[in-house]
Amino acid sequence: MTRFILPLIALGALAFLPGFVSEYGLGLLIGVVTYVTLASGWALFSGQTHYISLATAAFYGVGAYSVAVLNETLPYGLVLLCAGLIGAVMALIVGLSTLRLQGVYFVIFSFGLAELVRQLITWYEVNVTGTLGRYIFVDVTARGIYWQMLALGAATIALTAWMQRARIGMALRVIGDDEAVAAHSGINLARAKLVAFVLSAVILTLAGAITSPRYVYVEPAIVFNPTVSFLAVIMALLGGANRLWGPALGAVPLFLAFEWLSIHFPDTYPIFLGLLFIGVVFILPDGVLAGIDKLRARSKGKGTS
């Protein structure tokens, strides 16, 4: 029961937190829960399968642009629903055509997907609508955005917990360990990967849609920023992408650190991003939680020897 009660208490406390912080503090809270959601949503697929996807910005940008296009004609709730459906359809098309790729080929394609979508939207806006960029006027407060993102983040972690205990979670772990073994075990590789990829994409798309009113004005260069993709990957890997709370553990301190670096070192902070990415891959490839478990195992081994 404790594993259910404590998260619910923490969620309730986080829900009341906006009433005790300044506007700047509320902005930080929105950023934190957004990247917790992005990292957790990314890990939902990539954390188990070990398919390193750099397509986060593609779905995040599509979600933001969906709100920008539809907010003047549809109610806000229906706009979010449409954004999620658009993300699901896009992920379904991409997944059916690319999830057979492995290793570096999938990484390269996923990185190029965001650029492809950005260029297509830019071409359409310039040549068809005759403009570049759109304004978003939605009657949603900053607190409303925070609560929506907090709910999405909580749902993402709950979905991850369920999947880790369900048959699909076991199938994804076997796929991540060895696809050949998974295929010979009777696992439907295409279906398992596609389901996880679509669920992950819907979460990433909704995160972009919910956050978009904070921009007020969006254009492709803003919402299809590749930094979003890299940060989601680094945060998930740092905490432990295959752990339930790993992405959140990596997202909170890293977001605060990069927020501070971007303010004090606006021209050079991407260098820190690159160095951190390299450090995580080489020093903590399995994440902080796995590193802590290894240290505990070593200390127990020394204690019994």
Radius of gyration of the chain (CA): 20
Q: Tell me the CA distances in angstroms from 160 to 56, 166, 255, one per residue in order.
A: 17, 10, 22
What pLDDT is stored for residue 151 in this prediction? 96
- Give the pLDDT confidence of 10-53 residue by residue, as tens digits: 888 889 988 888 998 999 999 999 999 999 999 999 988 888 89
For the cut 80, the answer to whether the pLDDT of residue 70 exceeds it is: yes
Q: Tell me the CA distances in angstroms from 161 to 13, 44, 150, 243, one per residue in order.
A: 21, 10, 17, 9
What pLDDT is stored for residue 43 in this prediction? 94
For the cut 70, the answer to whether the pLDDT of residue 295 exceeds it is: no
What pLDDT is stored for residue 89 in this prediction? 96
Helix, strand or coil for residue 137? coil
Identify which has the larger pLDDT, 211 or 300. 211
Contacts of residue 281, Cβ cutoff 8 Å, sequence gap at least 6: 237
In a domain, 278, yes or no: yes
Main-chain dihedrals φ then ψ at residue 266, nearest 5 degrees: -65, -25
Provide mean pLDDT across the span 71-82. 93
In a domain, 13, yes or no: no
Report yes or no: 76 and 139 within 8 Å, Cβ to Cβ: yes
Identify which has the larger pLDDT, 72 or 151. 151
The domain tally of the chain equals 1
- Give the pLDDT confidence of 243-266 residue by residue, as tens digits: 888 899 889 988 988 888 888 777
Indicate the pLDDT class of residue 224, thresholds 50, 70 and 90: very high
In a domain, 1, yes or no: no
For the cut 60, the answer to whether the pLDDT of residue 229 exceeds it is: yes
Indicate the pLDDT class of residue 241, thresholds 50, 70 and 90: confident
- Give the pLDDT confidence of 271-292 residue by residue, as tens digits: 877 777 777 767 766 666 666 6
Main-chain dihedrals φ then ψ at residue 22, nearest 5 degrees: -80, 180
In a domain, 173, yes or no: yes
What pLDDT is stored for residue 290 in this prediction? 63
In a domain, 10, yes or no: no
Long-range contacts from 262-268, C-beta under 8 angstroms, 24+ separation: none
What pLDDT is stored for residue 9 in this prediction? 84
Exposed (0-12), middle (13-18) or buried (19+): which is 200, by Cβ within 10 Å?
Answer: buried
Contacts of residue 112, Cβ cutoff 8 Å, sequence gap at least 6: none
Domain containing 62: what range? 21-304
What pLDDT is stored for residue 216 in this prediction? 86
In a domain, 117, yes or no: yes
In a domain, 105, yes or no: yes
What pLDDT is stored for residue 301 in this prediction? 60
What pLDDT is stored for residue 105 in this prediction? 83
What pLDDT is stored for residue 299 in this prediction? 63
In a domain, 147, yes or no: yes
What pLDDT is stored for residue 288 in this prediction? 66
